[in-house]
Amino acid sequence: MSDPAQQAGGPRKPRIALMGEFSAGKSTLSNLLLGARPLPEKVTATRLSPVWMSYGNQSPYREDVDGTTEPVSLDRLEGIPVEETRFIRLFMEADILDVIDLIDFPGISDPNMDSDVWERVLPEVDAVIWCTHATQAWRQSEAAVWENMPDAVREHSILLITRYDKLTTVNDRRRVFKRVRRETNGQFGGTFPISLLQALEAGDDYDKWDGSGAGPFVDHLIETIQKLADLAARSPEPLYNIANGMGVPEPVVAPVIPRRVQRPLDADKPKRERPPAPPESGTG
Ligand SMILES: Nc1nc2c(ncn2[C@@H]2O[C@H](COP(=O)(O)OP(=O)(O)OP(=O)(O)O)[C@@H](O)[C@H]2O)c(=O)[nH]1
Ligand SMILES: [Mg+2]
């Protein structure tokens, strides 16, 4: 309905929501992924409706809760009526938006904002990157929201333990990571500690980028996007809705055989021993 690619008849792109508590780093993460700042700095400090970002150069607009749309000015986003706005649509020619849409959510337990403001946008999403603040990671309020998320969405979602630079000792870091992994066991496709500020500052410095935690996270994100793109191409319905009972259509393409099991059939040669199983991956 509100997806321009779909309107143009193209396949739908996966939609990834950035969620978490107030100030956990959602907008900083969106700057990092986009390689640019979509909103003027002063605007990011105010309460905003969910901001849905797509590839393109169209002008921004807001969609009202009744479905009507209205152009908006980036300089005046703070004047947008949050309660009556379903989301703000922004368009940028950023590489990542070539493959996914990003939806930057407001903080989940902002006392000045009804949770309905973001809950009503959940049916639009396929997956979530959840930002949890390292120094107060995985609060009850976060666990409570995540508990209600459909399994299929959770499986394709990523937990980022942000502001990891604020934990200064190795012991603290290990302790927080272990606790969060224990408390969220099996509820995310992957969990990664990250300093978003260090990642933003890294530029072309590969060691700094990797040291910030961004390297492993982005590798995992790319894998996730590949899986979601396949789902999105097959279904106009976001995963959140599919998981709520609408059903996933059967794949139309033949399953891809992992490279390590593709071996030319050779009848002359005796069968070889099975190769050893690969080591377990660090995610899950
Ligand atoms: N030290 C440190 N600061 C960070 C990190 N990530 C974000 N910040 C800072 O934390 C503040 C809040 O970050 P935002 O990205 O605006 O957080 P948000 O989740 O979008 O916040 P709301 O939209 O208000 O809920 C900003 O001043 C960021 O610069 C990090 O990894 N390390
Ligand atoms: Mg924000």
For the segment 130-150, the average pLDDT, to the nearest whole number, is 96
In three-state form (DSSP H/G/I as H, E/B as E, the rest C), the secondary structure along the chain is: CCCHHHHCCCCCCCEEEEEECCCCCHHHHHHHHHCCCCCCHHHHCCCCCCEEEEECCCCCEEEECCCCEEECCHHHHHHCCCCCEEEEEEEECCHHHHCCEEEECCCCCCCCCCCHHHHCCHHHCCEEEEEEEHHHCCCHHHHHHHHCCCHHHHHCCEEEEECHHHCCCHHHHHHHHHHHHHHCCCCCCEEEECCHHHHHHHCCCHHHHHHCCHHHHHHHHHHHHHHHHHHHHHCCCCHHHHHHHHCCCCCCCCCCCCHHHCCCCCCCCCCCCCCCCCCCCCCC
Q: Which ligand is nearest to the CA of 21?
A: 1
pLDDT tier, 113 (very low <50, low <70, confident <90, very high otherwise): confident
pLDDT tier, 36 (very low <50, low <70, confident <90, very high otherwise): confident
Query: What spacing in Å lies between the alpha carbon of 262 and ligand 1's midpoint?
Result: 45
pLDDT tier, 257 (very low <50, low <70, confident <90, very high otherwise): very low
For the segment 216-227, the average pLDDT, to the nearest whole number, is 95
Q: Which residue puts its alpha carbon closest to atom 27 of ligand 1?
A: 23
Q: Which residue puts its alpha carbon closest to atom 25 of ligand 1?
A: 22
Query: What spacing in Å lies between the alpha carbon of 48 and ligand 2's midpoint?
Result: 8
Tell me if 197 sits within 8 A of 165, measured CB to CB: yes
pLDDT digits (tens, 9 = 90+) for 74-101: 888 888 999 999 999 999 999 999 999 9
Given a cut of 70, whether residue 204 has pLDDT beyond it is yes
Atom of ligand 1 nearest to the CA of 21: 25
The token pair at 56 is: 């393109």
For residues 142 and 138, what is the distance between their CA atoms, to the nearest angstrom? Answer: 6
* Domain map (residue ranges) of the chain: 4-261
Query: What spacing in Å lies between the alpha carbon of 124 and ligand 1's midpoint?
Result: 24
pTM: 0.84
Residue range 4-261 in CATH 3.40.50.300: yes
pLDDT tier, 256 (very low <50, low <70, confident <90, very high otherwise): very low
pLDDT tier, 262 (very low <50, low <70, confident <90, very high otherwise): very low
